[in-house]
Amino acid sequence: MDGVTVLFLAGGLFFFITATIGLLRFPDLYTRLHATGKGDTLGASLILLGLGLYSGISTTTAKLLIMMIFIMLTSPVATHTISRAVYNKGVKPWVREVDG
């Protein structure tokens, strides 16, 4: 069980790190929001699943699952709301310029 727990925790850490790299490397707000929204949701879910496996069947596991469901519901909604508000303010998405 500890090996599976470590895999879930390492997977969550991987998604958090890749989301952070995406935040630093992507060119505009929309792609940065996409990277951090996906990375945070999946990273937090994997870490909470790993912690739930580590704690076994208990009320702590139930609380962790409730937290995971809450994050999976609110993070995409918050990301969409932020990007929609920025789009309505007139911020245009980044477009690659083609030489030619």
| pTM of structure | 0.86
Residue 100 and residue 84 in contact, taking contact as beta carbons nearer than 8 Å = no
Query: Could you list the mean pLDDT of each consecutive 10-residue stretch along the chain, which spans 100 residues?
Result: 92 96 93 93 96 93 96 95 95 83
Q: Are 48 and 68 in contact (CB under 8 A)?
A: yes
pLDDT of residue 100: 61
Euclidean distance between CA atoms 63 and 56, whole angstroms = 12
Report domain extents, the chain. Answer: 2-88
Q: What is the pLDDT of residue 18?
A: 95
